[in-house]
Amino acid sequence: MADREKILNILFSAIDDFNEIRPGEAPISKSKDTILFGSGGVLDSMGLVTFIVTSEQKIAEETGISITLADERAMSLRNSPFRTVGTLADYIHMLMAEQE
């Protein structure tokens, strides 16, 4: 299974792609503390959707595992998994562990 470090690297690679397709926008910085969505976040709703899909595709490319990040379960969690790059990495880690 991919460890947390590897997942963070995959997300950083997704961030690279994401920044590249949005020239002129404030780039997301490659740090686990970067706030993605919500108060102080760098993404608006379309940005979030695009980043999630980019991340899903990156995960599938790098690990061959297909996961859905945004679904009812993600919505129902008390702490949003999309708050920071770090919380997203944790959420992906958990989803992948379940798939095994």
Closest distance to other proteins from the beta carbon of 72 (Å): 7
**Nearest alpha-carbon partner for 66 in 46, 86, 89, 95:** 95
Question: Which DSSP letter does residue 25 get?
Answer: S
Distance CA 47, CA 36 (A): 9
Q: Kindly state whether residue 17 participates in binding other proteins, applying the rule CB under 8 A.
A: yes
Question: Would you give the distance in Å from CA 36 to the centre of its chain?
Answer: 9
Q: Does 62 bind other proteins (CB under 8 A)?
A: no
Q: Which is nearer to other proteins, 1 or 49 (CB)?
A: 49
Q: Decide: is 71 part of the binding site for other proteins (CB under 8 A).
A: yes
Q: In the complex with other proteins, which residue's Cβ is closer, 71 or 98?
A: 71
Q: Tell me the backbone φ, ψ of residue 69, rounded to 5 degrees.
A: -85, -40
Interface residues toward other proteins, by CB under 8 A = 17, 20-24, 44-50, 52-53, 57, 70-72, 74-75
